[in-house]
Structure 1
Amino acid sequence: MDSKAKALELGQKPVGALLWQYALPAIVAMTASSLYNIIDRASIGQLVGADAINGLSVTFPFMNLSAAFGAAVGVGASTCISVKLGQRDYDTAEHLLGNTITLNLIVGFLFMTVCLLFLDPILRFFGASDVTLPYAREFMEIILAGNIVTHMYFGMNALLRACGKPRHAMYATLFTVMMNILLVIAFVWVLRWGIRGAALATITSQTLALCWQLWIFSDPKELIHLKRGIYGLKTDLVKNIIAIGISPFLMNATSCIIVIFMNRQFLSYGGDMAVGAYGIANTFGMFFFMIIMGINQGMQPIVGYNYGAKHFDRMLRCLNLAILSATAIMVLGWLMAILFPSEMARIFTKDAVQISLAADGILINMLLFPLIGFQAVTTNFFQCIGRVKISIFLSLSRQLTILLPLIILFPMIWGLNGLWAALPTSDGLAAMMAAFVLWKYMRDFKVGKV
């Protein structure tokens, strides 16, 4: 099947089969990526020690912030391309590809430069102590040096999915993960390079995968491919990319803000061990949330294409299937958190105090996990159809208007347990808000107001 036929099938093939076809590779890729993160952090915690895993937890805001800028370009561009393919405007889709390359290079370089210049003050602000700062600095120096590669790698994967190549995106991620694991074994377990070895393994594997992605897009037989004349930034295209990408940008940027506040609060109420416990609980929770992201990635080209082609019945069918699938995944995560919290914590550390803190955190953090799948898919749906303001509102409602006040107020009343309890409370309130907004939109949609 050629590239044009693959794009057209988004509006013709049964929606259930399409969602499975597009989401499964993304789910496999995201699950593999999550497993790598677990192996990476477990290796550091087991071989280097509790202080190293505590220091690695401090770097999470950097990851969120980098992902925010990457999503502003990658997700925005892939959504625009999906809509243009639905409209069969292939020339504009090709220029969107070129502009994505240019924007990733610019944003990646600027982010790297600014962060490296002010690395220590930023890490201090993120919650690093005198003990954890050296570990966090060692890791981030290498990660930031390869930031352009990271931006390009994730951006190209998003474009592969938008262009009807979900399996290629999966192969790129699986290759990255397997290479990461092999290099972690070599750099951390064999050569004993510690936390720097883990960072170097990440950047090296992403660089190799990026070379393959660019080779795919260099093929003239592809529906949209790299060629001269498409890299110059066009104001209208950049505006469209940023207009749609602003929602995932703000989602990741606010996650960065929240993690910073959480780290500082955990440091204040429980010390470095509590910061590390939060990092462990966050990693475990993100394993399941990354599967939801895989479902969202599979949903994005289907919803975007059918919205652009005005096949609204197919668009809504895809939304319903995505919500059901995401909810089922989160119920599984909830059951594991209820039944095996201590076992999950022991994967990352040998320290008894940290195991106890992390087990409690995993249990409380995932208390209302079944509701998160619905909220995440609903937010992504509005992004896919270009309803950016609604998507931004739902993204910010959980992070800033609900969770941020709670992580300040609850610890004042209940101490460390109150800080943990703020997370599921915000999940429940955000899911209720998403349900109301989706109900209102569907009611207006049926009467032709939207």
Structure 2
Amino acid sequence: MSNKSEALGTEPIGKLLIKQAVPASIGILVMSLNILVDTIFVGNWIGPIAIAAINVVLPISFFIAALGMAIGIGGASIISRALGSGNKERALRTFGNQISISILLTSTMVFLGLFFINDLIPVFGGKGDIFEPAKVYYRIVLYGVPLLALSMMGNNVIRAEGKPKFSMISMIVPSIGNLILDYIFIYQLDMGMAGAAWATTISYGLSFLYILYFFLSDRSEIKIRFHHLGFNWSVLKEMSSLGFVTLARQSVVSVTYLFMNNILFEMGGESSIASYGIIARMLMFALFPVLGVTQGFLPIAGYNYGGHKFERVRESINRAILYAAGLGLLIFIVIMSFPEAIVSVFTDDAQILAQTPKYMRWVFAATPIVAIQLIGAAYFQAIGKAVPALLLTLTRQGFFFIPLIFILPHFFGEMGVWISFPVSDVLSTIVTGYFLNREIRKTLKV
């Protein structure tokens, strides 16, 4: 087995970060663009209620898919450090356990999700006119979620091997497939919400097939055997502690959707949920380069930390924050300059066009500084320190944002919900910056 991943410990950090971050950014861009265009198609070809319906279903399916992401990132941290220290058997054992636990957990969650379908949808804001289209979309999409979970798990392992281009392709394939199928099922066949759902589900299958092809081909260094699939409690324990960081973050995202959908429904009805649906898609889309830098940073930090190359770890932190902050500033300028034009792409509804641009400006107000929070939390996860990674990951939405959306509306009405975004960004960045700086001074002594 050729150890091509050794480039993570030898190439110049600046070049390496770009090499890792650009494919990750492109992959996230295409995936986010897929979600964005999907929302545009649904909004224009079905209607604004359909946007609200998808926004209700998203956190439920997102949580189940997040199990795969959590297992992927938790295991990828172990694999990166194992490859960095030359322990290939541990990398193989970890990947085998990732596959087994992903299948077990996601299949169980899908069964429960379908069994409690009529209870879950109203809890997440699927009330009034939103309930029926949300139910149609939810049932079909849930069938494909295990494939999405396996794909997200495999994607992170591919990146841990130091092969970001293939990770990028694994995100591009389903995104392009979904857009083509959207056009066929929604526009040509007039299948409505069911068409949107089947396009999404089939695209999950396309992603899974590509990742399966990668690991079965000679392009992958990680060639597991049947015995690697058996549960190893040492690996599972470490993977769970690190993966729980990601799962907790994604769970908080789902809880945030739950609270936001219900609070906004009470304050502004279906139109406010539709506004949130548009802004949520823009958050996924617009931050793609910042998230790409964060994803590219993870294997570099983990590999070099595992090899005790602390000077390279410090440089990777500094450069990742610099690159991500610069990109965040560009995003901020674009959003602040053209919010009306952006919203008009999604819908021609007069009420949504009137209220969403001002909300969007508030949501993106602190974008230039979020790099510190994202890179800081990612660093602790990359080096295997689960507790600080978990706490820092939860600072923004768990410790600050969720309490604020209950407190600020008492003083500012519905606008208080939107002001909560930048306030939580600033507070979480201050906390993360403090602990990251302390850890660097304490641990990364050159």
Q: TM-score over 0.5 for the alignment?
A: yes
Aligned mates of 1:299, 1:210 — CA distance in 2 = 24
Q: Distance in 2 between matches of 1:276 and 1:221?
A: 43
Cα contact 1:217–1:226 (8 A) shared by 2: no
**Aligned counterparts of 1:196 and 1:314: Cα–Cα separation in 2:** 50
The answer to whether 1:128 aligns with 2:126 is: yes
SS at match of 1:128: coil
Deviates more, 1:56-65 or 1:416-425: 56-65
Q: Which AA in structure 2 matches 1:238?
A: L
Q: Find the counterpart in structure 1 of residue 229 from structure 2.
A: 231
The alpha-carbon distance between structure 1 residues 405 and 241, as it changes in their structure 2 partners (threshold 3 A), is same
Q: Which amino acid aligns with 1:103?
A: I
Distance of aligned partners of 1:216 and 1:162 in 2 relative to their CA distance in 1, 3 Å threshold: same
Superposed CA offset, 1:155-183 (max 9, x none): 11111111122111111211111111111
Which of 292, 295, 301 is the matching residue for 2:293? 295
> What is aligned with 1:384?
382
Match of 1:159 in 2: 157
Partner residue of 1:183? 181
Cα distance in 2, alignment partners of residues 244 and 183 from structure 1: 36
* CA deviation after TM superposition for structure 1 residue 447, in Å: 6.2
Cα separation, 2, equivalents of 1:201 and 1:227: 34
Answering whether residue 94 of structure 2 is matched by residue 92 of structure 1, we say no
Number of equivalences: 446
- Given that 1:23 and 1:294 are in contact with CA atoms closer than 8 Å, whether structure 2 keeps it comes out as yes
Q: Is the 8 A contact 2:93 2:228 kept in 1?
A: yes
Contact 2:61 2:141 in 1 (8 A): no
Paired with 2:186 and 2:254, the residues of 1 have a C-alpha distance of 27
Aligned residues with identical type, % of pairs: 28
Matches within 5 A, 1:331-342: 331-342=329-340
Change over 3 Å in CA distance of 1:120–1:86 after alignment to 2: same
- Equivalent pair of 1:304/1:385 in contact (CA under 8 Å): yes
Q: 1:115 aligns with which of 113, 116, 126?
A: 113
Partner residue of 1:428? Answer: 426
Greater than 3 Å deviation, 4+ residue runs: 219-222
Instruction: Judge conservation of contact 1:219–1:226 (CA < 8 Å) in 2.
Output: no
Query: Over residues 387-441 of structure 1, what are the superposed CA-to-partner deviations in whole Å (9 max), with x where a residue is unaligned?
Result: 2111111122211221111100111111111111111111111111111111221
**Whole-Å Cα distance in 2 between the matches of residues 351 and 221 of structure 1?**
49
How far apart are residue 95 of structure 1 and its match?
1.4
Deviations 1:170-220 (A, max 9, x none): 112111111111111111111111222122112212212312211221236
CA distance in 2, matches of 1:66, 1:415: 33
Q: Show the 5 A alignment for 1:44-59.
A: 44-59=42-57
* Secondary structure at the counterpart of residue 4 of structure 1: coil
CA distance, structure 2, for counterparts of residue 220 and residue 130 of structure 1: 53
Find the aligned partners of 1:288 and 1:391 in 2 and give their Cα distance.
24
For 1:438, give the aligned amino acid: L
Contact 2:66–2:149 (CA under 8 A) maintained in structure 1: no
The whole-number CA distance in structure 1 between the counterparts of 2:49 and 2:229 is 45
User: What displacement does 1:63 show?
Assistant: 4.1
What's the counterpart of residue 219 of structure 1?
217
1:15 and 2:13 matched: yes
Q: Distance in 2 between matches of 1:333 and 1:120?
A: 39
Q: 2:61·2:145 contact (CA, 8 Å) conserved in 1?
A: no
Equivalent residue, structure 2, for 1:137 = 135
Shift of 1:443: 2.4
Counterpart CA distance in 1 for 2:278 and 2:323 is: 25
Instruction: Give distance in 2, aligned partners of 1:225 and 1:203.
Output: 28
Range 182-191 or range 287-296, more displaced: 287-296
CA distance in 2, matches of 1:254, 1:290: 20
Q: Equivalents in 2 of 1:262, 1:350: separation in Å?
A: 23
Instruction: Describe the SS at the equivalent of 1:146.
Output: helix
Q: For residues 70-94 of structure 1, what are the alpha-carbon distances to aligned partners after superposition, in whole Å with 9 as ceiling and x for unaligned? A: 2221111111111100111111111
- Aligned residue for 1:69? 67
- Return the offset for 1:340: 0.8
TM-score, structure 2 as length reference: 0.97
Report if aligned partners of 2:314, 2:444 keep a CA contact under 8 Å in 1: no
Q: Which consecutive unaligned segments of at least 5 residues does structure 2 have?
A: none
State the match for 2:190 in structure 1.
192
RMSD between superposed Cα atoms in Å: 1.5
Distance 1:380 1:446, change over 3 A: closer
Q: Please name the residue that 1:444 is paired with.
A: 442
* CA distance, structure 2, for counterparts of residue 354 and residue 221 of structure 1: 48
- Normalised by the length of structure 1, the TM-score is 0.96
Distance apart, 1:60 and its partner CA? 2.9
